[in-house]
Amino acid sequence: MTDDTYIDRLLRNPLGGPTRELDQAMFPEKPADVVNNPVLRDGMRAMLTASLDKTLPPLLRH
C-alpha cells in the first residue's frame, strides 16, 4: 500500500486514499463471485482500515 503524493493523486488516483496494485489473477471470472472472494474482501477491508486510521484522528481532534 502506498501513500501517494499530491501529484500522484492528480495523475493516477484523483479520488485519493490508499492504493494497492492488484494482480489480475485475483479477480473472479464472474462479477457475482466478487462478494465471495476472500482476497478481494480482505484487501478492501485492509485498505479501508488504513484509510480510516489515517484520516479519522485529525478529523476527530476538532
Task: Give the chain's domain count.
Answer: 1
| Amino acid sitting at position 6 | Y
Domain range for 54 is 6-21+30-60
Q: How far apart are CA 43 and CA 51, in angstroms?
A: 12
pLDDT of residue 56: 85
Q: How far apart are CA 35 and CA 41, in angstroms?
A: 7
Q: pLDDT tens digit string along 9-45?
A: 566 655 566 667 777 877 788 888 888 888 888 888 8
pLDDT of residue 24: 80
DSSP state letters, the chain: -B---HHHHHHT-TT-S-B----GGGS-SSGGGGGG-HHHHHHHHHHHHHHHHHHHHHHHT-
52 within a domain of the structure (yes/no): yes
Q: What predicted TM-score, i.e. pTM, was given to this entire model?
A: 0.56
Confidence of residue 46 (pLDDT cuts 50, 70, 90): confident
Q: 51 phi and psi, to 5 degrees? A: -65, -45
